[in-house]
Structure 1
Amino acid sequence: MSDRIATAVPSVPPVADELGRAFADAGFELHLVGGSVRDALLGRAAWEDLDFATSARPEQTLELLERLGTTTWTTGAAFGTIGAMFQGERVEVTTFRADQYDRVSRNPIVAYGDTLEDDLRRRDFTVNAMAVSVPEHVFSDPFDGRGDLARRVLRTPATPEESFADDPLRMLRAARFAAQLEFEVDADVRAAMTAMSGDLSRITAERVRDEFVKLMGAADPVLGLRLLVDTGLAEVFLPELPALKMQIDEHAQHKDVYEHTLTVVRNAVALEDGAPDVVLRIAALLHDIGKPDTKGMGTDGRVTFHHHELAGARMAKRRLRELKFPKEQITAIAHLIALHLRFYGYGRGEWTDSAVRRYVTDAGDELARLHKLTRSDVTTRNKRKAARLAADYDALEERIARIEEEEDLARVRPDLDGNEIMRLLGVPPGRVVGEAWQHLKEIRLDRGPLSRDEAEAELWRWAKERGVLPDAGE
């Protein structure tokens, strides 16, 4: 494959040539650039994204695209980018850039360039600094990006120090591309990332979050995560991860909790049955972050981490809020972390049907992910133990399926609803109704579905004991 990349010129989609002719007729250059060129050379995608660089200024680009009868949008106009739907394809056209940074603020000061090479020099990595002119199909690669693709290495067009000083987010991008493309990072780039990792604090939480999410959705996120920890970048925005390095796993089967965690992430990736599940992957990454704060020593001399799942859920909520994750994702990830140990003990035969109902009910919409996270957490090298735990979880899933055939476990409700409770007790809406409803739900979880008479008897019994109706049921 490396020989093919070293000599290949990517084929160009007809729609790009059509747009190129329109720009050429108007006296402007137009070039396909960036990740779309890289991926075409790698054979990874058939031009899913059409990103162009042009000598036209944004207002000229907008006028030309509107004249072509396309739908346009200008949300990126401040940075020189005009978006459009051209012949059914989504395209983005950006004026040649020669960005300037004051190296203090969090955003670039946009300055337009005059040449394609200037534009390519300001890009993050050489593998993203290639271009194909349209409609001429002249391939431009002033920084040997094609050679780096063949060598599977990440370098910067300018010096790494200059590139990262201009935009520290590029250091996080290096980790993301390492995970996404499964490339090595050039030694000079890695050294600059280590020396300049603290500069990442200049970047807004939202931009850091977006890159981190892309990294976690990559083909092998562990490659990127190791790079983040080894260079000190993780200390800046996710210090809970490197903190795991010095914690000894209580099973004494792994070098440390850090290595165990990376294995759990890889296990979770392997259990996915479709598109990358970033919520599951982040839950796997953070599932043990409560261990450093809960480390203790048992009477037998073994290391313990009592209730680390609850501490970890709280820590995950706090960290993900700081990174501006959506509320629903924070809730899901913290919920998975809090529940990830619930399964242990099932194999000892201690679980009743009531315990199974509660497991399913407590997991709620996250049950499928909880299954995967729990299985991923089994990283013991003891093959007999691993087989036993897998068999135990198989048995639990089969038991859940059996009970679900008899009951709707996904929607466990009391056998009497609020209106029936109010009618039977003769009370208005309020606290009493809610408490009665919750009591009947607990009975439902413990015993399964009740008959109408049984449910009413339980309601009267509860009401009498609570003094809601002193003569209830008599």
Structure 2
Amino acid sequence: MSEVSAHHADRRELTAAQRNAVAELLRVSPVADELGRRFVRAGHELHLVGGSVRDALLGRLGDDLDFCTDAHPDETLRILKGWAESIWETGREFGTIGAQRAGLRLEITTFRAESYDQVSRNPVVVYGTSLDEDLKRRDFTINAMAVSLPEHRFTDPHGGLDDLSAKVIRTPSTPRESFGDDPLRMLRAARFAAQLRFAVHPDVYTAMTEMAADLDRITAERIRDEFTKLLCGADPITGLRLLVDTGLAERFLPELTGLKLEIDEHAQHKDVYEHTLTVVENAVSFEEDGCDFILRMAALMHDVGKPATKAVGSDGRVSFHHHEVVGARLTKARMKAMRYPKEITAKVTALVALHLRFYGYGRGEWTDSAVRRYVADAGDLLPRLHKLTRSDCTTRNRRKAAQLAADYDALEDRIARIAAEEDLARVRPDLDGNAIMELLGVPPGPVVGRAWKHLKEQRLEHGPLDRDAAEAELLRWARAEGLIA
């Protein structure tokens, strides 16, 4: 690939960025350049653009490439047919045609000049006529750079390269114009701050604060998707602080802002909000294979029940009794409002409900039965519950922190010991439904369910029973219930 040339930028400033860009673009250039030549032969332009150029300059270009062109979708389809290994049109209404070639996912979008009526929740797509027009309507300067194909001309009309070097998030037009067009860009600014560890420009910060209420125009689904990316960023704490400090969180996640009003019961943190951010940070440190959204969201929401359960005793001490129960209810309602899938909501809610269960273990009050119930109630969430519980230990008292860690080590060792003796991952009654029906002489129905539940309780309380003991217990229960003589 030839050296990236400069347009609207100082060649001398490109040296460091060129090394990253050339190394990254060399990998994809056989496909990108071939596609560029096909568009040129058809009388059209093609430019690698947006996040693809940004990531190439950062030395982290992936396998998803974004292009823009003056060709309309029908023309793009004609150019791709016979060349692309597969084609999809799911983004056609937004002017985007997708394709795959040589392991790369390509999205080609017609130049855009989106217009908004300041009321609608989604942009109205209007095709543009030039690259400069397309770049000007983009969200941030770091996403408003292009590499033209196949000649590799670099275009940067808004100083995106300088902002990339300075690690700052700035808009091509004024922030008020940009956010007025699409208020979701305010949330996206916080998301990029979290993903890239960049700072927002002061003008951008001011506009985010003054226009936070405009986020109400955006659908819950679009907000959810941006927030999920923010929470899964490399530095979610920076993004979360931006949301709270600018007032954006109040528009869709007010429980987070509400934590700033509460003082921790141990009086060792400025407030529960700061404690919560520390727990999120700790949870991130426990991840093994990329972002675990369920764990991070549970860490974020684990104490949201505290404001509603705050009480001050006669000794002046603050308590939040049963805040895990209230917090689970609030978490479920908030995630439902944000349109998260039911299965994800259920897992996060369960973790919030269980996050206090461990406390008290160190007093030596837990029987083997309590350990079995802890494992059974957590189910497949047990590894995450381990991480969440450890993350929740943010005390500055080193002796207390060491004791809590030792207590949890002991609990995990105890779980492992009991698991070696019993199948804790599948705690079920010692008799199945068929055996219950046969022994009691009853058909399928509520009686079988009640009997099954009773035997499961016995299994949790006493551990495994052999067949004879299980049958004897079932018959004893049935007599007590008046089901048999």
Superposition TM-score tier, normalisation by shorter sequence: over 0.9
3-state SS in 2 of match to 1:212: helix
> 1:465: Cα distance to partner?
1.1
Q: Note if 1:49 corresponds to 2:68.
A: no
3-state SS in 1 of match to 2:60: coil
1:10 to 18, 21, 25: 21
**So what's the TM-score if we normalise by structure 2?**
0.95
**Structure 2 unpaired stretches of 5+:** 1-12
1:190 to 197, 205, 228: 205
**Cα pair 1:5 1:149 within 8 Å, conserved:** no
3-state SS in 2 of match to 1:350: coil
What residue is the counterpart of 2:248 in the other structure? 233
Question: What CA deviation, in whole Å up to 9, does each residue of 1:282-307 have, x standing for no partner?
Answer: 00000000000000012432000000
> Residues 77, 57 of structure 1: CA spacing in aligned structure 2 closer, same or farther, 3 A cutoff?
same
What residue is the counterpart of 2:285 in the other structure? 270
Question: What CA deviation, in whole Å up to 9, does each residue of 1:390-441 have, x standing for no partner?
Answer: 0100110011011111111010111111111111111111111111111111
3-state SS in 2 of match to 1:104: coil
1:299-318 matches, within 5 Å, as 299-318=314-333
| One-letter identity of the residue aligned with 1:104 | V
Question: What CA deviation, in whole Å up to 9, does each residue of 1:158-183 have, x standing for no partner?
Answer: 10000000000000000000000000
RMSD across aligned positions (CA)? 1.3
2:189 to 164, 167, 174: 174
> Residues 5, 245 of structure 1: CA spacing in aligned structure 2 closer, same or farther, 3 A cutoff?
farther
Q: Note if 1:150 corresponds to 2:152.
A: no
What residue is the counterpart of 1:117 in the other structure? 132
| One-letter identity of the residue aligned with 1:400 | I
1:351-430 matches, within 5 Å, as 351-430=366-445
> 1:459: Cα distance to partner?
1.1
> 1:70: Cα distance to partner?
4.2
What residue is the counterpart of 2:86 in the other structure? 71
> Residues 390, 465 of structure 1: CA spacing in aligned structure 2 closer, same or farther, 3 A cutoff?
same
Aligned-partner Cα distance in 2 for 1:347–1:31: 62
**Cα pair 1:265 1:284 within 8 Å, conserved:** yes
**Cα pair 1:6 1:147 within 8 Å, conserved:** no
What residue is the counterpart of 2:222 in the other structure? 207
What residue is the counterpart of 2:7 in the other structure? none
**Cα pair 1:5 1:42 within 8 Å, conserved:** no
What residue is the counterpart of 1:31 in the other structure? 47
> 1:88: Cα distance to partner?
3.7
Q: Note if 1:134 corresponds to 2:149.
A: yes
2:355 to 317, 340, 354: 340
| One-letter identity of the residue aligned with 2:108 | V
> Residues 191, 5 of structure 1: CA spacing in aligned structure 2 closer, same or farther, 3 A cutoff?
farther
**Structure 1 unpaired stretches of 5+:** none
> 1:44: Cα distance to partner?
2.2
Aligned-partner Cα distance in 1 for 2:248–2:88: 35
Question: What CA deviation, in whole Å up to 9, does each residue of 1:64-119 have, x standing for no partner?
Answer: 11143542111111111111123442101011111111111011121111111110
What residue is the counterpart of 1:19 in the other structure? 35
Report the identity percentage.
68
Question: What CA deviation, in whole Å up to 9, does each residue of 1:353-396 have, x standing for no partner?
Answer: 00000000000111111000000000000011000000100110
**So what's the TM-score if we normalise by structure 1?**
0.97
